[in-house]
Amino acid sequence: MASHRKSRPVGTRVAGIRTPALATAALTSVALLSQSANAAPADDKPSLEEVEKKVDDLYRQAESATDNYNAAKEKTAKQRKQVDTLLDDVARRTEKLNEARQELGSFAAAQYRTGAAAPDTATFLLADTPQDYFDQTQLMGRLTNRQKGAVDDYVSEQSATMKKRQEASQSLQTLTETQSDLKTAKATVQKKLADARDMLSELTAQEKARLAALEKQKQEAAARKAAELARQQAAAEKAAQEATAPQESTSTAADSSYATKAAKSLAFVRAQIGKPYVWGATGPDSYDCSGLTQAAWKAAGVDLPRVTYDQVNAGATVSLADAQPGDLVFFYDDISHVGLYIGNGMMIHAPKPGAYVREESIYYDGESAIHSVVRPA
Protein backbone atom coordinates (compact mmCIF):
# COMPACT_ATOMS: atom_id res chain seq x y z
CA MET A 1 0.00 0.00 0.00
CA ALA A 2 1.47 3.30 -1.03
CA SER A 3 2.32 5.78 1.66
CA HIS A 4 0.48 9.09 1.72
CA ARG A 5 3.19 10.86 3.74
CA LYS A 6 4.86 13.89 2.20
CA SER A 7 8.55 13.55 1.69
CA ARG A 8 10.66 15.49 4.18
CA PRO A 9 12.62 18.47 2.85
CA VAL A 10 16.33 17.86 2.53
CA GLY A 11 18.24 19.87 5.07
CA THR A 12 20.69 19.81 7.95
CA ARG A 13 20.48 20.27 11.65
CA VAL A 14 21.88 23.31 13.38
CA ALA A 15 21.79 23.07 17.16
CA GLY A 16 19.09 20.42 16.96
CA ILE A 17 16.89 22.40 14.55
CA ARG A 18 16.26 21.15 11.09
CA THR A 19 16.98 23.87 8.47
CA PRO A 20 15.77 24.05 4.88
CA ALA A 21 18.32 23.64 2.08
CA LEU A 22 18.02 27.30 1.08
CA ALA A 23 18.76 28.47 4.60
CA THR A 24 21.76 26.14 4.75
CA ALA A 25 23.19 27.63 1.57
CA ALA A 26 22.68 31.13 2.95
CA LEU A 27 24.44 30.28 6.21
CA THR A 28 27.34 28.74 4.26
CA SER A 29 27.70 31.89 2.15
CA VAL A 30 27.67 34.09 5.25
CA ALA A 31 30.33 31.92 6.85
CA LEU A 32 32.54 32.05 3.77
CA LEU A 33 32.13 35.82 3.48
CA SER A 34 32.99 36.20 7.13
CA GLN A 35 36.13 34.12 6.71
CA SER A 36 37.14 36.12 3.65
CA ALA A 37 36.60 39.40 5.49
CA ASN A 38 38.69 38.25 8.40
CA ALA A 39 41.45 36.96 6.14
CA ALA A 40 41.63 39.95 3.79
CA PRO A 41 43.60 42.36 6.00
CA ALA A 42 46.15 39.66 6.82
CA ASP A 43 46.61 38.78 3.16
CA ASP A 44 47.05 42.41 2.13
CA LYS A 45 49.68 43.14 4.75
CA PRO A 46 53.22 42.04 3.79
CA SER A 47 55.09 39.65 6.03
CA LEU A 48 57.99 40.87 8.13
CA GLU A 49 60.39 39.15 5.77
CA GLU A 50 58.82 41.07 2.87
CA VAL A 51 59.01 44.33 4.82
CA GLU A 52 62.67 43.69 5.62
CA LYS A 53 63.44 42.97 1.96
CA LYS A 54 61.58 46.05 0.74
CA VAL A 55 63.31 48.29 3.29
CA ASP A 56 66.73 46.85 2.40
CA ASP A 57 65.97 47.35 -1.29
CA LEU A 58 65.00 50.96 -0.65
CA TYR A 59 68.21 51.57 1.26
CA ARG A 60 70.20 50.00 -1.58
CA GLN A 61 68.40 52.14 -4.14
CA ALA A 62 69.07 55.18 -1.98
CA GLU A 63 72.76 54.28 -1.82
CA SER A 64 72.89 53.85 -5.59
CA ALA A 65 71.23 57.24 -5.97
CA THR A 66 73.77 58.61 -3.50
CA ASP A 67 76.57 57.54 -5.84
CA ASN A 68 74.82 59.40 -8.66
CA TYR A 69 74.51 62.40 -6.35
CA ASN A 70 78.20 62.20 -5.43
CA ALA A 71 79.24 61.98 -9.09
CA ALA A 72 77.02 64.93 -10.04
CA LYS A 73 78.31 66.91 -7.06
CA GLU A 74 81.93 66.24 -8.03
CA LYS A 75 81.22 67.14 -11.66
CA THR A 76 79.43 70.32 -10.57
CA ALA A 77 82.38 71.39 -8.42
CA LYS A 78 84.83 70.85 -11.30
CA GLN A 79 82.56 72.61 -13.78
CA ARG A 80 82.06 75.55 -11.44
CA LYS A 81 85.81 75.89 -11.01
CA GLN A 82 86.26 75.81 -14.79
CA VAL A 83 83.55 78.43 -15.25
CA ASP A 84 85.15 80.70 -12.63
CA THR A 85 88.54 80.35 -14.34
CA LEU A 86 87.05 81.15 -17.75
CA LEU A 87 85.13 84.15 -16.43
CA ASP A 88 88.28 85.49 -14.75
CA ASP A 89 90.16 85.06 -18.03
CA VAL A 90 87.38 86.84 -19.94
CA ALA A 91 87.50 89.72 -17.43
CA ARG A 92 91.27 90.08 -17.84
CA ARG A 93 91.04 89.94 -21.62
CA THR A 94 88.21 92.47 -21.67
CA GLU A 95 90.30 94.84 -19.59
CA LYS A 96 93.23 94.39 -21.97
CA LEU A 97 90.89 94.92 -24.90
CA ASN A 98 89.68 98.19 -23.41
CA GLU A 99 93.28 99.34 -22.98
CA ALA A 100 94.00 98.52 -26.63
CA ARG A 101 90.86 100.37 -27.66
CA GLN A 102 91.98 103.44 -25.70
CA GLU A 103 95.40 103.30 -27.34
CA LEU A 104 93.80 103.20 -30.78
CA GLY A 105 91.66 106.14 -29.78
CA SER A 106 94.73 108.15 -28.83
CA PHE A 107 96.30 107.38 -32.19
CA ALA A 108 93.16 108.51 -33.97
CA ALA A 109 93.15 111.75 -31.98
CA ALA A 110 96.79 112.37 -32.85
CA GLN A 111 96.07 111.84 -36.53
CA TYR A 112 93.14 114.21 -36.29
CA ARG A 113 95.34 116.90 -34.73
CA THR A 114 98.14 116.54 -37.32
CA GLY A 115 95.74 116.04 -40.16
CA ALA A 116 97.82 113.23 -41.71
CA ALA A 117 99.13 109.78 -40.87
CA ALA A 118 102.59 110.40 -42.37
CA PRO A 119 104.80 113.41 -43.20
CA ASP A 120 104.45 114.93 -46.67
CA THR A 121 105.60 118.01 -48.62
CA ALA A 122 103.43 120.28 -46.47
CA THR A 123 105.22 119.00 -43.39
CA PHE A 124 108.57 119.87 -45.00
CA LEU A 125 107.37 123.36 -45.86
CA LEU A 126 106.16 123.91 -42.30
CA ALA A 127 109.42 122.75 -40.81
CA ASP A 128 111.74 125.48 -39.69
CA THR A 129 114.85 123.53 -40.65
CA PRO A 130 115.71 120.30 -42.49
CA GLN A 131 116.53 118.78 -39.10
CA ASP A 132 112.99 119.54 -37.87
CA TYR A 133 111.60 117.72 -40.93
CA PHE A 134 113.86 114.76 -40.30
CA ASP A 135 112.79 114.54 -36.65
CA GLN A 136 109.11 114.70 -37.54
CA THR A 137 109.55 112.04 -40.22
CA GLN A 138 111.16 109.67 -37.71
CA LEU A 139 108.44 110.33 -35.14
CA MET A 140 105.60 109.73 -37.58
CA GLY A 141 107.28 106.57 -38.89
CA ARG A 142 107.48 105.14 -35.40
CA LEU A 143 103.93 106.23 -34.68
CA THR A 144 102.63 104.47 -37.77
CA ASN A 145 104.40 101.19 -36.96
CA ARG A 146 103.20 101.31 -33.36
CA GLN A 147 99.66 102.04 -34.52
CA LYS A 148 99.75 99.09 -36.90
CA GLY A 149 100.96 96.82 -34.10
CA ALA A 150 98.24 98.12 -31.79
CA VAL A 151 95.57 97.38 -34.39
CA ASP A 152 96.89 93.83 -34.88
CA ASP A 153 96.96 93.28 -31.11
CA TYR A 154 93.43 94.61 -30.76
CA VAL A 155 92.04 92.33 -33.47
CA SER A 156 93.85 89.30 -32.03
CA GLU A 157 92.72 90.07 -28.48
CA GLN A 158 89.15 90.68 -29.60
CA SER A 159 89.06 87.27 -31.34
CA ALA A 160 90.55 85.48 -28.31
CA THR A 161 88.11 87.23 -25.95
CA MET A 162 85.11 86.22 -28.05
CA LYS A 163 86.34 82.61 -28.07
CA LYS A 164 86.76 82.60 -24.28
CA ARG A 165 83.30 84.08 -23.87
CA GLN A 166 81.84 81.25 -25.96
CA GLU A 167 83.70 78.68 -23.86
CA ALA A 168 82.43 80.30 -20.68
CA SER A 169 78.88 80.27 -22.04
CA GLN A 170 79.11 76.55 -22.92
CA SER A 171 80.58 75.76 -19.51
CA LEU A 172 77.78 77.67 -17.81
CA GLN A 173 75.25 75.62 -19.78
CA THR A 174 76.98 72.38 -18.75
CA LEU A 175 77.07 73.60 -15.15
CA THR A 176 73.32 74.22 -15.26
CA GLU A 177 72.74 70.69 -16.56
CA THR A 178 74.92 69.05 -13.90
CA GLN A 179 73.20 71.11 -11.22
CA SER A 180 69.90 69.74 -12.52
CA ASP A 181 71.30 66.18 -12.33
CA LEU A 182 72.46 66.92 -8.80
CA LYS A 183 68.99 68.11 -7.80
CA THR A 184 67.35 65.02 -9.35
CA ALA A 185 69.75 62.63 -7.61
CA LYS A 186 69.21 64.37 -4.29
CA ALA A 187 65.42 64.12 -4.64
CA THR A 188 65.71 60.40 -5.49
CA VAL A 189 67.78 59.71 -2.38
CA GLN A 190 65.37 61.61 -0.16
CA LYS A 191 62.35 59.80 -1.66
CA LYS A 192 63.84 56.33 -1.13
CA LEU A 193 64.80 57.12 2.46
CA ALA A 194 61.35 58.57 3.19
CA ASP A 195 59.68 55.44 1.79
CA ALA A 196 61.87 53.22 3.98
CA ARG A 197 61.09 55.30 7.08
CA ASP A 198 57.37 55.16 6.31
CA MET A 199 57.42 51.37 6.04
CA LEU A 200 59.26 51.00 9.32
CA SER A 201 57.00 53.47 11.11
CA GLU A 202 53.94 51.35 10.28
CA LEU A 203 55.30 48.36 12.20
CA THR A 204 54.01 47.65 15.68
CA ALA A 205 56.38 47.29 18.62
CA GLN A 206 55.96 43.52 18.47
CA GLU A 207 56.72 43.46 14.75
CA LYS A 208 59.81 45.63 15.26
CA ALA A 209 61.02 43.19 17.90
CA ARG A 210 60.52 40.26 15.52
CA LEU A 211 62.29 42.18 12.78
CA ALA A 212 65.23 42.76 15.12
CA ALA A 213 65.29 39.03 15.87
CA LEU A 214 65.38 38.25 12.14
CA GLU A 215 68.26 40.68 11.70
CA LYS A 216 70.13 39.03 14.56
CA GLN A 217 69.74 35.61 12.96
CA LYS A 218 71.02 37.07 9.70
CA GLN A 219 74.08 38.52 11.42
CA GLU A 220 74.83 35.26 13.20
CA ALA A 221 74.75 33.38 9.89
CA ALA A 222 77.04 36.03 8.36
CA ALA A 223 79.46 35.68 11.29
CA ARG A 224 79.63 31.91 10.76
CA LYS A 225 80.45 32.43 7.09
CA ALA A 226 83.15 34.94 8.02
CA ALA A 227 84.70 32.49 10.48
CA GLU A 228 84.73 29.81 7.78
CA LEU A 229 86.52 32.16 5.35
CA ALA A 230 89.03 33.06 8.08
CA ARG A 231 89.87 29.39 8.58
CA GLN A 232 90.29 28.86 4.84
CA GLN A 233 92.54 31.90 4.48
CA ALA A 234 94.65 30.89 7.47
CA ALA A 235 95.12 27.39 6.06
CA ALA A 236 96.03 28.78 2.62
CA GLU A 237 98.53 31.23 4.14
CA LYS A 238 100.18 28.48 6.18
CA ALA A 239 100.49 26.26 3.12
CA ALA A 240 101.99 29.11 1.11
CA GLN A 241 104.55 29.86 3.83
CA GLU A 242 105.58 26.21 4.02
CA ALA A 243 105.92 26.00 0.25
CA THR A 244 108.12 29.11 -0.01
CA ALA A 245 110.11 28.67 3.22
CA PRO A 246 113.39 27.58 1.52
CA GLN A 247 113.34 30.44 -0.98
CA GLU A 248 112.66 34.14 -0.67
CA SER A 249 109.57 35.37 -2.45
CA THR A 250 110.14 37.94 -5.20
CA SER A 251 106.96 39.74 -4.18
CA THR A 252 108.07 40.34 -0.58
CA ALA A 253 108.96 43.99 -1.17
CA ALA A 254 105.67 44.73 -2.97
CA ASP A 255 103.66 42.91 -0.31
CA SER A 256 105.48 44.83 2.41
CA SER A 257 104.76 48.17 0.71
CA TYR A 258 101.07 47.36 0.35
CA ALA A 259 100.85 46.09 3.93
CA THR A 260 102.34 49.35 5.21
CA LYS A 261 99.79 51.45 3.34
CA ALA A 262 96.96 49.11 4.27
CA ALA A 263 97.90 49.36 7.95
CA LYS A 264 97.56 53.16 7.76
CA SER A 265 94.16 52.91 6.07
CA LEU A 266 92.99 50.38 8.66
CA ALA A 267 94.16 52.54 11.56
CA PHE A 268 92.21 55.44 10.10
CA VAL A 269 89.01 53.51 9.44
CA ARG A 270 89.00 51.94 12.92
CA ALA A 271 89.11 55.44 14.40
CA GLN A 272 85.88 56.27 12.51
CA ILE A 273 83.81 53.47 14.08
CA GLY A 274 80.68 54.89 15.67
CA LYS A 275 80.39 57.90 13.37
CA PRO A 276 77.04 58.21 11.55
CA TYR A 277 76.29 57.32 7.96
CA VAL A 278 75.22 60.44 6.08
CA TRP A 279 74.69 60.22 2.33
CA GLY A 280 77.13 62.38 0.39
CA ALA A 281 79.44 62.80 3.42
CA THR A 282 83.22 62.41 3.24
CA GLY A 283 84.11 63.12 6.86
CA PRO A 284 85.45 63.95 9.26
CA ASP A 285 82.26 63.72 11.35
CA SER A 286 80.18 61.46 9.10
CA TYR A 287 80.56 59.31 5.98
CA ASP A 288 78.78 57.42 3.29
CA CYS A 289 80.29 54.10 2.17
CA SER A 290 82.60 55.34 -0.58
CA GLY A 291 83.41 58.51 1.34
CA LEU A 292 84.77 56.32 4.15
CA THR A 293 86.96 54.12 1.92
CA GLN A 294 88.23 57.18 0.05
CA ALA A 295 89.20 58.89 3.31
CA ALA A 296 90.81 55.71 4.68
CA TRP A 297 93.12 55.26 1.72
CA LYS A 298 93.84 58.99 1.52
CA ALA A 299 95.29 58.63 5.03
CA ALA A 300 97.68 56.10 3.48
CA GLY A 301 98.66 58.51 0.69
CA VAL A 302 96.49 56.92 -2.01
CA ASP A 303 93.87 58.97 -3.85
CA LEU A 304 90.77 56.93 -4.66
CA PRO A 305 87.92 58.22 -6.85
CA ARG A 306 84.81 59.47 -5.08
CA VAL A 307 82.17 56.93 -6.12
CA THR A 308 82.00 53.14 -5.89
CA TYR A 309 81.73 52.45 -9.62
CA ASP A 310 84.99 54.35 -10.11
CA GLN A 311 86.72 52.93 -7.05
CA VAL A 312 86.14 49.39 -8.34
CA ASN A 313 88.52 50.21 -11.22
CA ALA A 314 91.17 51.82 -9.00
CA GLY A 315 93.25 48.70 -8.46
CA ALA A 316 93.74 45.02 -9.18
CA THR A 317 90.85 42.60 -8.76
CA VAL A 318 91.66 39.63 -6.49
CA SER A 319 89.69 36.58 -5.46
CA LEU A 320 87.80 36.57 -2.19
CA ALA A 321 90.03 33.74 -0.96
CA ASP A 322 93.09 35.97 -1.52
CA ALA A 323 91.62 39.07 0.12
CA GLN A 324 94.03 40.95 2.38
CA PRO A 325 93.42 43.63 5.02
CA GLY A 326 93.00 46.97 3.28
CA ASP A 327 91.31 45.56 0.17
CA LEU A 328 88.03 47.03 -0.98
CA VAL A 329 85.00 44.73 -1.00
CA PHE A 330 82.23 45.78 -3.39
CA PHE A 331 78.61 44.65 -3.26
CA TYR A 332 75.64 44.15 -5.59
CA ASP A 333 75.43 44.09 -9.37
CA ASP A 334 75.25 47.88 -9.55
CA ILE A 335 78.36 48.18 -7.31
CA SER A 336 76.43 50.49 -4.98
CA HIS A 337 78.23 49.60 -1.74
CA VAL A 338 81.82 49.17 -0.55
CA GLY A 339 83.62 48.27 2.66
CA LEU A 340 87.25 48.01 3.80
CA TYR A 341 88.38 44.44 4.43
CA ILE A 342 90.11 43.97 7.80
CA GLY A 343 90.71 40.20 7.62
CA ASN A 344 88.99 37.08 8.96
CA GLY A 345 85.95 37.63 6.73
CA MET A 346 85.21 40.99 8.36
CA MET A 347 85.13 44.58 7.12
CA ILE A 348 84.53 48.08 8.40
CA HIS A 349 81.94 50.05 6.46
CA ALA A 350 79.32 52.79 6.63
CA PRO A 351 76.23 50.58 6.18
CA LYS A 352 73.18 52.74 5.49
CA PRO A 353 71.21 55.78 6.66
CA GLY A 354 70.35 55.59 10.33
CA ALA A 355 73.36 53.34 11.04
CA TYR A 356 76.91 54.04 12.14
CA VAL A 357 80.34 53.05 10.86
CA ARG A 358 80.89 49.55 12.20
CA GLU A 359 82.73 46.28 11.89
CA GLU A 360 80.66 43.59 10.20
CA SER A 361 80.91 40.35 8.28
CA ILE A 362 81.35 40.73 4.53
CA TYR A 363 78.47 38.25 4.28
CA TYR A 364 76.08 40.66 6.01
CA ASP A 365 73.69 40.48 3.06
CA GLY A 366 74.56 36.99 1.89
CA GLU A 367 77.39 35.59 -0.19
CA SER A 368 75.63 36.40 -3.48
CA ALA A 369 75.69 40.11 -2.64
CA ILE A 370 79.51 40.25 -2.92
CA HIS A 371 80.49 41.67 -6.29
CA SER A 372 84.31 41.76 -6.20
CA VAL A 373 87.42 42.47 -4.19
CA VAL A 374 89.90 45.13 -5.35
CA ARG A 375 93.41 45.89 -4.08
CA PRO A 376 94.03 49.65 -4.48
CA ALA A 377 97.06 50.52 -6.61
Half-sphere exposure of 211 (CA within 13 A, CB side): 21
Which contacts qualify for 234-240: CB closer than 8 Å, 24 or more apart? 236/321
Q: Which of the residues 289, 314, 348, 374 is marked catalytic? A: 289
DSSP letter at 275 equals P
Q: Is 4 a catalytic residue?
A: no
Q: Which of the residues 337, 352, 371, 375 is marked catalytic? A: 337
DSSP letter at 286 equals -
Q: Is 337 a catalytic residue?
A: yes
Q: Is 371 a catalytic residue?
A: no
| Beta strand segments in 47-147, E | none
The answer to whether 311 and 294 have CB atoms below 8 angstroms apart is: yes
3-state secondary structure of 19: strand
Half-sphere exposure of 133 (CA within 13 A, CB side): 12
The answer to whether 237 and 322 have CB atoms below 8 angstroms apart is: no
Q: Which of the residues 93, 164, 192, 349 is marked catalytic? A: 349
Q: Based on the number of CB atoms within 10 Å of its own CB, is 284 exposed (0-12), middle (13-18) or buried (19 or more)?
A: exposed
Active site residues: 289, 337, 349
